[in-house]
Chain A
Protein backbone atom coordinates (compact mmCIF):
# COMPACT_ATOMS: atom_id res chain seq x y z
CA UNK A 1 0.00 0.00 0.00
CA UNK A 2 1.38 3.39 -0.97
CA UNK A 3 -0.36 6.06 1.03
CA UNK A 4 -1.13 9.27 -0.80
CA UNK A 5 1.33 12.14 -0.40
CA UNK A 6 -1.23 14.42 1.24
CA UNK A 7 -1.93 11.82 3.94
CA UNK A 8 1.80 11.47 4.49
CA UNK A 9 2.07 15.23 5.02
CA UNK A 10 -0.71 15.11 7.62
CA UNK A 11 1.00 12.20 9.36
CA UNK A 12 4.32 14.09 9.47
CA UNK A 13 2.47 17.09 10.82
CA UNK A 14 0.99 15.02 13.66
CA UNK A 15 4.29 13.24 14.28
CA UNK A 16 6.28 16.47 14.39
CA UNK A 17 8.54 15.46 11.51
CA UNK A 18 7.31 17.92 8.89
CA UNK A 19 10.15 19.88 7.23
CA UNK A 20 9.76 23.48 5.99
CA UNK A 21 9.13 22.36 2.40
CA UNK A 22 6.44 19.99 3.67
CA UNK A 23 4.84 22.76 5.70
CA UNK A 24 4.56 24.99 2.67
CA UNK A 25 3.17 22.20 0.54
CA UNK A 26 0.59 21.27 3.18
CA UNK A 27 -0.46 24.87 3.74
CA UNK A 28 -0.92 25.39 -0.01
CA UNK A 29 -2.83 22.17 -0.53
CA UNK A 30 -5.19 22.94 2.32
CA UNK A 31 -5.79 26.51 1.17
CA UNK A 32 -6.54 25.38 -2.36
CA UNK A 33 -8.72 22.36 -1.83
CA UNK A 34 -11.94 22.04 0.18
CA UNK A 35 -11.65 18.25 -0.18
CA UNK A 36 -8.19 18.34 1.36
CA UNK A 37 -9.54 20.38 4.26
CA UNK A 38 -12.34 17.86 4.75
CA UNK A 39 -9.81 15.03 4.78
CA UNK A 40 -7.67 17.01 7.23
CA UNK A 41 -10.64 17.55 9.56
CA UNK A 42 -11.39 13.85 9.53
CA UNK A 43 -7.79 13.10 10.45
CA UNK A 44 -7.75 15.70 13.25
CA UNK A 45 -10.99 14.34 14.68
CA UNK A 46 -9.25 11.00 15.22
CA UNK A 47 -6.01 12.66 16.34
CA UNK A 48 -7.95 14.67 18.92
CA UNK A 49 -9.88 11.61 20.16
CA UNK A 50 -6.66 9.59 20.56
CA UNK A 51 -4.95 12.41 22.46
CA UNK A 52 -7.91 12.84 24.77
CA UNK A 53 -8.17 9.11 25.31
CA UNK A 54 -4.47 8.81 26.24
CA UNK A 55 -4.64 11.74 28.59
CA UNK A 56 -7.79 10.55 30.30
CA UNK A 57 -6.00 7.33 31.16
CA UNK A 58 -3.25 9.21 32.96
CA UNK A 59 -4.53 10.21 36.35
CA UNK A 60 -3.48 13.58 37.62
CA UNK A 61 -3.91 15.12 41.01
CA UNK A 62 -6.44 17.84 41.27
CA UNK A 63 -5.43 20.49 43.75
CA UNK A 64 -7.99 21.25 46.38
CA UNK A 65 -8.77 24.81 47.23
CA UNK A 66 -9.36 26.31 50.60
CA UNK A 67 -12.82 27.41 51.44
CA UNK A 68 -13.07 30.90 50.07
CA UNK A 69 -14.63 33.81 51.69
CA UNK A 70 -16.49 35.80 49.10
CA UNK A 71 -19.60 34.42 47.53
CA UNK A 72 -18.34 35.30 44.05
CA UNK A 73 -14.91 33.89 44.79
CA UNK A 74 -16.55 30.76 46.15
CA UNK A 75 -18.36 30.33 42.92
CA UNK A 76 -15.23 30.99 40.92
CA UNK A 77 -13.40 28.40 42.98
CA UNK A 78 -16.20 25.92 42.57
CA UNK A 79 -16.24 26.38 38.84
CA UNK A 80 -12.47 26.28 38.61
CA UNK A 81 -12.47 23.09 40.64
CA UNK A 82 -15.13 21.56 38.44
CA UNK A 83 -13.22 22.49 35.33
CA UNK A 84 -10.04 21.15 36.85
CA UNK A 85 -11.66 17.84 37.66
CA UNK A 86 -13.18 17.59 34.23
CA UNK A 87 -9.98 18.36 32.47
CA UNK A 88 -7.51 17.07 35.03
CA UNK A 89 -6.47 14.45 32.61
CA UNK A 90 -4.97 17.09 30.36
CA UNK A 91 -2.29 17.80 32.89
CA UNK A 92 0.26 15.14 33.18
CA UNK A 93 2.43 13.96 35.96
CA UNK A 94 5.68 13.81 34.13
CA UNK A 95 8.66 12.14 35.73
CA UNK A 96 11.92 13.97 36.21
CA UNK A 97 13.28 16.61 38.51
CA UNK A 98 10.88 19.28 39.58
CA UNK A 99 10.31 21.82 42.27
CA UNK A 100 9.87 21.15 45.96
CA UNK A 101 7.87 23.18 48.44
CA UNK A 102 10.31 24.40 51.08
CA UNK A 103 8.11 26.80 53.01
CA UNK A 104 4.38 27.22 53.43
CA UNK A 105 2.58 29.72 55.57
CA UNK A 106 -0.98 30.84 55.86
CA UNK A 107 -2.39 28.36 53.38
CA UNK A 108 -3.90 25.00 54.13
CA UNK A 109 -4.18 23.64 50.62
CA UNK A 110 -0.51 22.81 50.14
CA UNK A 111 2.00 21.22 52.46
CA UNK A 112 5.74 21.41 52.86
CA UNK A 113 7.66 18.70 51.03
CA UNK A 114 4.69 17.94 48.79
CA UNK A 115 5.85 16.98 45.30
CA UNK A 116 4.40 19.40 42.82
CA UNK A 117 2.87 17.89 39.70
CA UNK A 118 4.11 19.23 36.40
CA UNK A 119 1.68 20.84 33.94
CA UNK A 120 -1.04 21.06 36.56
CA UNK A 121 -2.50 24.42 37.44
CA UNK A 122 -2.15 25.04 41.16
CA UNK A 123 -4.24 27.61 42.94
CA UNK A 124 -3.96 28.95 46.41
CA UNK A 125 -6.08 31.72 47.78
CA UNK A 126 -3.84 33.09 50.51
CA UNK A 127 -0.53 32.77 52.25
CA UNK A 128 3.02 32.27 51.07
CA UNK A 129 4.59 29.37 49.22
CA UNK A 130 8.31 29.01 48.68
CA UNK A 131 9.61 26.65 45.99
CA UNK A 132 13.09 25.39 45.39
CA UNK A 133 14.17 24.14 41.96
CA UNK A 134 16.93 21.63 41.17
CA UNK A 135 19.14 24.39 39.73
CA UNK A 136 19.02 26.25 43.03
CA UNK A 137 16.50 28.81 41.87
CA UNK A 138 14.10 29.90 44.61
CA UNK A 139 10.65 31.32 44.07
CA UNK A 140 8.34 32.84 46.68
CA UNK A 141 4.69 33.08 45.65
CA UNK A 142 1.89 34.92 47.41
CA UNK A 143 -1.79 34.03 47.26
CA UNK A 144 -4.16 34.60 45.63
CA UNK A 145 -2.05 32.93 42.99
CA UNK A 146 -2.42 30.55 40.11
CA UNK A 147 0.69 28.93 38.72
CA UNK A 148 1.95 25.86 36.95
CA UNK A 149 5.29 24.11 36.67
CA UNK A 150 6.31 23.51 33.09
CA UNK A 151 9.70 22.15 32.21
CA UNK A 152 12.25 21.71 34.98
CA UNK A 153 13.24 25.37 35.24
CA UNK A 154 10.13 27.11 33.97
CA UNK A 155 7.19 28.41 35.88
CA UNK A 156 3.99 29.77 34.36
CA UNK A 157 2.14 32.27 36.52
CA UNK A 158 -1.29 33.34 35.33
CA UNK A 159 -2.11 35.42 38.37
CA UNK A 160 -0.35 36.47 41.54
CA UNK A 161 2.76 37.96 43.02
CA UNK A 162 6.17 36.33 43.24
CA UNK A 163 9.83 36.97 43.71
CA UNK A 164 12.56 34.96 42.06
CA UNK A 165 16.15 34.40 43.11
CA UNK A 166 18.44 32.63 40.66
CA UNK A 167 21.86 32.13 42.28
CA UNK A 168 24.92 31.30 40.14
CA UNK A 169 24.12 28.09 38.29
CA UNK A 170 20.45 28.85 38.01
CA UNK A 171 20.72 31.52 35.32
CA UNK A 172 18.15 31.05 32.61
CA UNK A 173 15.29 30.33 35.00
CA UNK A 174 12.13 31.41 33.19
CA UNK A 175 8.77 32.70 34.29
CA UNK A 176 6.03 32.75 31.67
CA UNK A 177 3.15 35.14 32.16
CA UNK A 178 0.15 36.04 30.01
CA UNK A 179 2.07 39.21 29.11
CA UNK A 180 5.39 37.67 28.16
CA UNK A 181 8.36 35.72 29.41
CA UNK A 182 10.89 36.79 32.03
CA UNK A 183 14.31 35.16 31.92
CA UNK A 184 16.45 35.44 34.99
CA UNK A 185 20.06 36.15 34.08
CA UNK A 186 21.34 35.55 37.59
CA UNK A 187 19.45 37.89 39.83
CA UNK A 188 16.66 38.67 42.21
CA UNK A 189 13.48 40.16 40.79
CA UNK A 190 9.80 40.53 41.57
CA UNK A 191 6.72 40.06 39.42
CA UNK A 192 3.06 40.95 39.92
CA UNK A 193 0.86 39.26 37.35
CA UNK A 194 -2.62 40.69 37.00
CA UNK A 195 -5.00 42.20 34.54
CA UNK A 196 -6.72 45.47 33.73
CA UNK A 197 -9.96 43.53 33.36
CA UNK A 198 -9.36 42.57 29.74
CA UNK A 199 -5.66 42.46 29.03
CA UNK A 200 -2.79 41.10 31.08
CA UNK A 201 -0.68 43.59 33.02
CA UNK A 202 2.57 42.38 34.56
CA UNK A 203 4.74 44.48 36.84
CA UNK A 204 8.39 43.70 37.36
CA UNK A 205 11.15 45.17 39.45
CA UNK A 206 14.77 44.01 39.43
CA UNK A 207 16.32 43.99 42.90
CA UNK A 208 19.70 42.65 41.85
CA UNK A 209 21.42 41.52 38.64
CA UNK A 210 19.69 41.37 35.27
CA UNK A 211 16.43 40.11 33.74
CA UNK A 212 15.43 39.72 30.12
CA UNK A 213 11.81 40.50 29.25
CA UNK A 214 10.61 38.71 26.13
CA UNK A 215 7.34 39.92 24.68
CA UNK A 216 7.05 41.79 21.39
CA UNK A 217 10.84 42.21 21.52
CA UNK A 218 13.57 41.50 24.04
CA UNK A 219 14.50 44.01 26.72
CA UNK A 220 17.10 43.68 29.43
CA UNK A 221 16.46 45.28 32.80
CA UNK A 222 19.09 45.75 35.47
CA UNK A 223 19.11 46.43 39.20
CA UNK A 224 16.70 49.12 40.28
CA UNK A 225 14.76 49.15 37.02
CA UNK A 226 11.03 48.45 36.94
CA UNK A 227 8.49 48.16 34.16
CA UNK A 228 4.83 47.40 33.52
CA UNK A 229 4.30 44.99 30.67
CA UNK A 230 0.89 45.78 29.21
CA UNK A 231 -0.46 43.54 26.49
CA UNK A 232 -2.81 45.16 24.06
CA UNK A 233 -4.32 44.18 20.74
CA UNK A 234 -1.57 45.94 18.83
CA UNK A 235 1.17 44.15 20.81
CA UNK A 236 2.94 44.44 24.14
CA UNK A 237 4.21 47.66 25.63
CA UNK A 238 6.79 48.07 28.37
CA UNK A 239 5.92 51.13 30.42
CA UNK A 240 8.25 52.82 32.90
CA UNK A 241 5.36 54.16 34.92
CA UNK A 242 1.82 52.97 35.38
CA UNK A 243 -0.81 55.65 35.73
CA UNK A 244 1.94 58.23 36.31
CA UNK A 245 3.17 56.29 39.33
CA UNK A 246 6.54 54.60 39.54
CA UNK A 247 6.30 50.83 39.51
CA UNK A 248 7.26 49.00 42.68
CA UNK A 249 7.05 45.27 43.38
CA UNK A 250 7.87 44.50 47.01
CA UNK A 251 10.35 41.66 47.49
CA UNK A 252 8.36 38.81 49.01
CA UNK A 253 11.51 37.01 50.11
CA UNK A 254 12.10 39.78 52.65
CA UNK A 255 8.60 39.83 54.07
CA UNK A 256 7.54 37.93 57.14
CA UNK A 257 4.32 36.00 56.71
CA UNK A 258 1.29 38.08 57.58
CA UNK A 259 -0.25 37.36 60.92
CA UNK A 260 -3.89 36.96 61.67
CA UNK A 261 -6.20 36.41 64.55
CA UNK A 262 -8.37 33.64 63.13
CA UNK A 263 -11.89 33.05 64.33
CA UNK A 264 -12.28 36.35 66.10
CA UNK A 265 -12.32 38.89 63.29
CA UNK A 266 -16.04 39.27 62.58
CA UNK A 267 -15.40 41.33 59.43
CA UNK A 268 -13.25 38.76 57.60
CA UNK A 269 -14.87 37.88 54.30
CA UNK A 270 -18.00 39.96 54.96
CA UNK A 271 -19.46 42.07 52.15
CA UNK A 272 -18.45 45.71 52.01
CA UNK A 273 -20.04 48.50 49.99
CA UNK A 274 -18.95 52.04 49.28
CA UNK A 275 -20.58 54.90 47.36
CA UNK A 276 -17.57 54.90 45.05
CA UNK A 277 -14.03 53.70 44.70
CA UNK A 278 -10.94 54.60 42.78
CA UNK A 279 -10.58 53.25 39.25
CA UNK A 280 -7.42 54.02 37.29
CA UNK A 281 -6.09 52.59 34.01
CA UNK A 282 -4.38 49.20 33.65
CA UNK A 283 -6.21 47.22 36.30
CA UNK A 284 -5.82 49.78 39.03
CA UNK A 285 -9.17 49.25 40.71
CA UNK A 286 -9.55 49.40 44.46
CA UNK A 287 -13.01 48.12 45.43
CA UNK A 288 -14.22 48.00 49.04
CA UNK A 289 -14.22 44.16 49.22
CA UNK A 290 -10.45 44.49 49.63
CA UNK A 291 -11.10 45.78 53.14
CA UNK A 292 -12.15 42.40 54.50
CA UNK A 293 -10.12 40.04 52.31
CA UNK A 294 -7.48 39.21 54.91
CA UNK A 295 -4.62 40.43 52.73
CA UNK A 296 -2.48 42.74 54.74
CA UNK A 297 0.48 44.11 52.89
CA UNK A 298 -0.91 47.05 50.94
CA UNK A 299 -0.03 45.55 47.58
CA UNK A 300 -1.25 42.82 45.23
CA UNK A 301 -1.34 42.56 41.46
CA UNK A 302 -2.97 44.70 38.77
CA UNK A 303 -6.70 44.10 38.95
CA UNK A 304 -6.43 42.61 42.41
CA UNK A 305 -4.90 45.01 44.92
CA UNK A 306 -5.26 44.38 48.63
CA UNK A 307 -6.69 47.77 49.66
CA UNK A 308 -9.63 50.11 49.15
CA UNK A 309 -9.23 53.64 47.80
CA UNK A 310 -11.87 56.37 47.66
CA UNK A 311 -12.45 58.05 44.28
CA UNK A 312 -9.85 60.68 43.29
CA UNK A 313 -9.93 63.69 45.58
CA UNK A 314 -12.59 62.28 47.93
CA UNK A 315 -12.37 61.23 51.55
CA UNK A 316 -14.90 58.46 50.93
CA UNK A 317 -16.26 55.80 53.22
CA UNK A 318 -17.60 52.28 53.29
CA UNK A 319 -20.01 49.97 55.12
CA UNK A 320 -19.31 46.45 56.30
CA UNK A 321 -22.35 44.18 56.51
CA UNK A 322 -21.83 41.63 59.27
CA UNK A 323 -24.87 39.76 57.84
CA UNK A 324 -26.45 39.45 61.29
CA UNK A 325 -26.87 41.64 64.33
CA UNK A 326 -23.68 41.10 66.29
CA UNK A 327 -22.24 42.42 69.55
CA UNK A 328 -19.12 44.43 68.77
CA UNK A 329 -16.81 46.69 70.77
CA UNK A 330 -13.55 47.08 68.84
CA UNK A 331 -12.25 47.70 65.36
CA UNK A 332 -8.68 47.29 64.16
CA UNK A 333 -7.64 49.33 61.13
CA UNK A 334 -4.68 48.96 58.82
CA UNK A 335 -4.02 52.06 56.75
CA UNK A 336 -2.76 52.19 53.18
CA UNK A 337 -0.40 54.56 51.45
CA UNK A 338 -1.29 53.19 47.99
CA UNK A 339 1.54 50.77 47.23
CA UNK A 340 4.07 52.95 49.01
CA UNK A 341 3.34 55.75 46.57
CA UNK A 342 2.36 57.71 49.67
CA UNK A 343 -0.42 59.73 48.04
CA UNK A 344 -3.57 58.32 49.66
CA UNK A 345 -4.73 57.06 53.04
CA UNK A 346 -7.01 57.79 55.98
CA UNK A 347 -6.11 60.51 58.47
CA UNK A 348 -9.29 60.85 60.54
CA UNK A 349 -12.59 59.03 60.48
CA UNK A 350 -15.98 58.47 62.08
CA UNK A 351 -17.23 55.00 62.93
CA UNK A 352 -20.99 54.47 62.91
CA UNK A 353 -23.21 51.46 63.45
CA UNK A 354 -26.73 50.54 62.42
CA UNK A 355 -29.15 47.64 62.38
CA UNK A 356 -31.19 48.76 59.37
CA UNK A 357 -28.53 50.48 57.19
CA UNK A 358 -30.67 53.64 57.42
CA UNK A 359 -30.31 55.01 60.93
CA UNK A 360 -26.70 55.23 62.03
CA UNK A 361 -25.21 56.04 65.43
CA UNK A 362 -21.66 57.35 65.72
CA UNK A 363 -19.68 55.24 68.20
CA UNK A 364 -16.20 56.59 67.62
CA UNK A 365 -14.10 59.39 66.20
CA UNK A 366 -10.51 58.48 65.54
CA UNK A 367 -7.41 59.11 63.54
CA UNK A 368 -4.63 57.04 62.02
CA UNK A 369 -0.96 58.05 61.79
CA UNK A 370 0.67 58.61 58.39
CA UNK A 371 2.40 55.42 57.22
CA UNK A 372 6.11 55.25 56.52
CA UNK A 373 6.18 54.03 52.91
CA UNK A 374 9.75 52.82 53.36
CA UNK A 375 8.89 50.53 56.30
CA UNK A 376 9.74 46.85 55.81
CA UNK A 377 6.99 44.24 56.02
CA UNK A 378 3.28 44.67 56.71
CA UNK A 379 1.95 47.97 57.99
CA UNK A 380 0.70 48.08 61.61
CA UNK A 381 -2.90 47.72 62.77
CA UNK A 382 -4.39 50.28 65.13
CA UNK A 383 -7.09 49.27 67.60
CA UNK A 384 -10.08 51.44 68.54
CA UNK A 385 -12.46 50.37 71.30
CA UNK A 386 -15.94 51.71 71.99
CA UNK A 387 -18.77 50.77 74.37
CA UNK A 388 -20.16 47.39 73.38
CA UNK A 389 -23.08 47.67 70.96
CA UNK A 390 -25.35 45.39 68.91
CA UNK A 391 -25.07 46.15 65.20
CA UNK A 392 -25.24 44.60 61.80
CA UNK A 393 -23.84 47.43 59.66
CA UNK A 394 -20.55 49.12 60.48
CA UNK A 395 -19.85 52.31 58.54
CA UNK A 396 -16.54 54.11 58.41
CA UNK A 397 -16.59 57.66 57.07
CA UNK A 398 -13.22 59.21 56.28
CA UNK A 399 -13.19 62.83 57.40
CA UNK A 400 -9.69 63.73 56.22
CA UNK A 401 -7.07 61.99 54.14
CA UNK A 402 -3.30 62.00 53.60
CA UNK A 403 -1.90 63.21 50.31
CA UNK A 404 1.57 63.27 48.79
CA UNK A 405 3.19 66.35 50.30
CA UNK A 406 5.56 66.78 47.37
CA UNK A 407 2.64 67.45 45.01
CA UNK A 408 0.40 70.51 44.73
CA UNK A 409 -2.46 70.29 47.22
CA UNK A 410 -5.05 70.13 44.43
CA UNK A 411 -3.35 67.18 42.70
CA UNK A 412 -6.12 64.74 41.62
CA UNK A 413 -4.30 61.65 42.88
CA UNK A 414 -5.26 61.84 46.51
CA UNK A 415 -8.07 60.62 48.72
CA UNK A 416 -9.09 58.30 51.49
CA UNK A 417 -8.14 54.66 51.60
CA UNK A 418 -7.64 51.71 53.92
CA UNK A 419 -6.05 48.31 53.55
CA UNK A 420 -8.03 46.25 56.06
CA UNK A 421 -10.70 46.49 58.73
CA UNK A 422 -11.14 43.91 61.47
CA UNK A 423 -14.12 43.96 63.79
CA UNK A 424 -14.18 42.23 67.16
CA UNK A 425 -16.71 41.44 69.86
CA UNK A 426 -14.25 42.46 72.56
Chain B
Protein backbone atom coordinates (compact mmCIF):
# COMPACT_ATOMS: atom_id res chain seq x y z
CA UNK B 1 0.00 0.00 0.00
CA UNK B 2 1.31 3.41 -0.89
CA UNK B 3 1.36 6.33 1.53
CA UNK B 4 -1.69 8.51 1.28
CA UNK B 5 -1.10 12.21 0.97
CA UNK B 6 -2.31 14.16 3.95
CA UNK B 7 -5.92 15.04 3.29
CA UNK B 8 -7.66 18.14 4.67
CA UNK B 9 -9.53 15.81 7.03
CA UNK B 10 -6.35 14.29 8.43
CA UNK B 11 -4.84 17.72 8.98
CA UNK B 12 -8.07 18.88 10.59
CA UNK B 13 -7.98 16.02 13.10
CA UNK B 14 -4.60 17.26 14.24
CA UNK B 15 -5.71 20.84 14.65
CA UNK B 16 -8.89 19.87 16.45
CA UNK B 17 -6.95 17.64 18.80
CA UNK B 18 -4.36 20.23 19.68
CA UNK B 19 -6.97 22.86 20.54
CA UNK B 20 -9.41 20.83 22.64
CA UNK B 21 -8.52 22.82 25.74
CA UNK B 22 -9.17 26.18 24.12
CA UNK B 23 -12.44 25.00 22.57
CA UNK B 24 -13.62 23.54 25.85
CA UNK B 25 -12.80 26.76 27.66
CA UNK B 26 -14.76 28.88 25.19
CA UNK B 27 -17.78 26.59 25.19
CA UNK B 28 -17.80 26.20 28.97
CA UNK B 29 -17.62 29.97 29.43
CA UNK B 30 -20.83 30.27 27.40
CA UNK B 31 -22.55 27.27 29.04
CA UNK B 32 -21.07 27.51 32.55
CA UNK B 33 -23.86 25.77 34.46
CA UNK B 34 -23.97 22.55 32.48
CA UNK B 35 -20.77 20.57 32.30
CA UNK B 36 -22.42 17.73 30.37
CA UNK B 37 -23.98 20.02 27.80
CA UNK B 38 -20.65 21.82 27.35
CA UNK B 39 -18.98 18.47 26.65
CA UNK B 40 -21.71 17.52 24.20
CA UNK B 41 -21.34 20.80 22.37
CA UNK B 42 -17.58 20.29 22.22
CA UNK B 43 -18.11 16.89 20.61
CA UNK B 44 -20.54 18.33 18.10
CA UNK B 45 -18.15 21.16 17.35
CA UNK B 46 -15.34 18.65 16.72
CA UNK B 47 -17.53 16.81 14.27
CA UNK B 48 -18.61 19.95 12.43
CA UNK B 49 -15.00 21.15 12.20
CA UNK B 50 -14.00 17.82 10.77
CA UNK B 51 -16.85 17.83 8.28
CA UNK B 52 -15.92 21.31 7.14
CA UNK B 53 -12.23 20.40 6.73
CA UNK B 54 -12.38 21.03 3.00
CA UNK B 55 -13.90 24.49 3.45
CA UNK B 56 -11.17 25.59 5.81
CA UNK B 57 -8.45 27.73 4.29
CA UNK B 58 -5.21 26.90 6.15
CA UNK B 59 -4.01 30.46 5.47
CA UNK B 60 -6.62 31.69 7.93
CA UNK B 61 -6.06 31.38 11.67
CA UNK B 62 -7.53 28.08 12.80
CA UNK B 63 -8.73 29.23 16.21
CA UNK B 64 -10.73 32.20 14.91
CA UNK B 65 -12.48 29.93 12.45
CA UNK B 66 -13.05 27.13 14.99
CA UNK B 67 -14.32 29.55 17.64
CA UNK B 68 -16.89 30.88 15.19
CA UNK B 69 -18.19 27.36 14.64
CA UNK B 70 -18.12 26.58 18.37
CA UNK B 71 -20.16 29.70 19.12
CA UNK B 72 -22.65 28.69 16.49
CA UNK B 73 -22.95 25.23 18.09
CA UNK B 74 -23.48 26.81 21.50
CA UNK B 75 -26.31 28.93 20.13
CA UNK B 76 -27.88 25.87 18.53
CA UNK B 77 -27.64 23.93 21.81
CA UNK B 78 -29.20 26.81 23.69
CA UNK B 79 -32.08 26.89 21.24
CA UNK B 80 -32.62 23.17 21.75
CA UNK B 81 -32.62 23.25 25.52
CA UNK B 82 -35.49 24.69 27.48
CA UNK B 83 -35.17 28.45 27.49
CA UNK B 84 -35.67 28.82 31.24
CA UNK B 85 -32.71 26.58 31.88
CA UNK B 86 -30.23 29.12 30.64
CA UNK B 87 -28.33 31.02 33.23
CA UNK B 88 -27.02 33.67 30.84
CA UNK B 89 -29.05 35.93 28.55
CA UNK B 90 -28.59 35.69 24.78
CA UNK B 91 -27.02 39.13 24.77
CA UNK B 92 -24.40 38.14 27.33
CA UNK B 93 -23.56 34.90 25.55
CA UNK B 94 -23.05 36.82 22.31
CA UNK B 95 -20.89 39.39 24.03
CA UNK B 96 -18.75 36.81 25.81
CA UNK B 97 -18.41 34.86 22.59
CA UNK B 98 -17.27 37.89 20.61
CA UNK B 99 -14.85 39.07 23.26
CA UNK B 100 -13.28 35.69 23.90
CA UNK B 101 -9.55 36.05 23.22
CA UNK B 102 -8.46 34.11 20.17
CA UNK B 103 -5.42 32.44 21.65
CA UNK B 104 -4.60 29.16 23.26
CA UNK B 105 -2.52 29.08 26.41
CA UNK B 106 -4.24 26.00 27.80
CA UNK B 107 -1.09 23.87 27.70
CA UNK B 108 0.81 26.41 29.85
CA UNK B 109 -2.17 26.83 32.12
CA UNK B 110 -2.56 23.10 32.61
CA UNK B 111 1.15 22.81 33.42
CA UNK B 112 0.91 25.64 35.92
CA UNK B 113 -2.19 24.08 37.44
CA UNK B 114 -0.30 20.87 38.27
CA UNK B 115 2.36 22.85 40.10
CA UNK B 116 -0.21 24.94 41.93
CA UNK B 117 -2.29 21.92 42.98
CA UNK B 118 0.87 20.56 44.60
CA UNK B 119 1.31 23.77 46.56
CA UNK B 120 -2.13 23.45 48.15
CA UNK B 121 -2.53 21.91 51.59
CA UNK B 122 -3.42 18.21 51.43
CA UNK B 123 -6.92 18.99 52.70
CA UNK B 124 -7.56 21.67 50.12
CA UNK B 125 -6.09 19.60 47.33
CA UNK B 126 -8.23 16.61 48.22
CA UNK B 127 -11.36 18.76 48.40
CA UNK B 128 -10.92 20.55 45.09
CA UNK B 129 -10.14 17.30 43.28
CA UNK B 130 -13.17 15.62 44.84
CA UNK B 131 -15.30 18.57 43.75
CA UNK B 132 -14.33 18.04 40.12
CA UNK B 133 -14.71 14.27 40.08
CA UNK B 134 -17.20 13.36 37.36
CA UNK B 135 -20.64 13.13 38.87
CA UNK B 136 -19.68 14.84 42.13
CA UNK B 137 -22.06 17.46 43.50
CA UNK B 138 -21.39 20.19 46.01
CA UNK B 139 -24.53 19.09 47.89
CA UNK B 140 -23.22 15.56 48.36
CA UNK B 141 -19.71 16.72 49.21
CA UNK B 142 -21.16 19.01 51.86
CA UNK B 143 -23.29 16.27 53.37
CA UNK B 144 -20.30 13.90 53.46
CA UNK B 145 -18.29 16.54 55.33
CA UNK B 146 -21.16 17.61 57.64
CA UNK B 147 -21.05 21.14 56.26
CA UNK B 148 -23.72 23.29 54.67
CA UNK B 149 -23.42 23.63 50.88
CA UNK B 150 -23.00 27.38 51.37
CA UNK B 151 -20.04 26.93 53.73
CA UNK B 152 -18.45 24.41 51.39
CA UNK B 153 -18.95 26.75 48.44
CA UNK B 154 -17.08 29.49 50.32
CA UNK B 155 -14.21 27.11 51.03
CA UNK B 156 -14.12 26.04 47.38
CA UNK B 157 -14.06 29.67 46.36
CA UNK B 158 -10.99 30.26 48.58
CA UNK B 159 -9.21 27.32 47.02
CA UNK B 160 -10.14 28.56 43.57
CA UNK B 161 -8.72 32.02 44.34
CA UNK B 162 -5.49 30.45 45.67
CA UNK B 163 -5.15 28.50 42.45
CA UNK B 164 -6.00 31.46 40.22
CA UNK B 165 -3.39 33.64 41.90
CA UNK B 166 -0.77 30.91 41.84
CA UNK B 167 -1.40 30.24 38.14
CA UNK B 168 -1.21 33.95 37.33
CA UNK B 169 2.18 34.14 39.03
CA UNK B 170 3.46 31.11 37.16
CA UNK B 171 2.23 32.38 33.79
CA UNK B 172 3.39 35.98 34.32
CA UNK B 173 6.45 35.65 36.60
CA UNK B 174 7.55 39.25 36.04
CA UNK B 175 4.19 40.85 36.75
CA UNK B 176 3.93 42.18 40.26
Contact = CB atoms under 8 A, between A and B. Distances in A.
B42 A54 contact: no
A16 B33 contact: yes
Contact of A30 (B25, B33, B96, B164): B96
Given A52-B24, A121-B43, A27 B88 contact: yes
A87 B43 contact: yes
B169 interface: no
Contact of A17 (B7, B35, B138): B138
A52 to B, nearest CB: 6
Contact of B137 (A1, A16, A18, A92): A16
Contacts of A86: 16-17, 20
Contact of B28 (A1, A3, A44, A79): A44
Interface string A90-107: 111010000000000000
B64 interface: no
Q: How many interface residues does chain A have, given as a range?
A: 35 or more
Contacts of A54: 129, 132-134
Given A50-B128, A83-B16, A45 B157 contact: no
A396 B124 CA distance: 72
A8 B113 contact: no
B88 A50 contact: no
B91 interface: yes
Given A53-B113, A87-B46, A48 B92 contact: no
Interface in A3-28: 3, 7-8, 11-18, 23, 26-27
Contacts of B89: 27, 31
A57 B175 CA distance: 33
B154 to A, nearest CB: 7
- Interface size on B, as a range, is 35 or more
A83 B19 CA distance: 12
Nearest to B155: A11
Contacts, number: 144
Contacts of A13: 32-33, 87
A8 B157 contact: yes
Given A15-B153, A83-B50, A49 B110 contact: yes
B142 to A, nearest CB: 10
**Taking each of A43, A79, A92, which has the highest tally of chain B beta carbons within 10 Å of its own beta carbon?**
A79
A31 B158 contact: no
Interface in B1-41: 7, 9-10, 12-13, 16-17, 20-21, 24-25, 28-29, 32-33, 35-36, 39
A90 B138 contact: no
A48 B135 contact: no
Given A16-B33, A31-B91, A83-B16, A92 B135 contact: yes
B32 A47 contact: yes
A316 B24 CA distance: 48
18 contacts: A3-B157, A8-B153, A11-B154, A11-B160, A15-B156, A40-B29, A40-B96, A43-B164, A45-B25, A46-B160, A47-B28, A48-B21, A49-B106, A49-B113, A52-B21, A87-B46, A92-B134, A121-B43
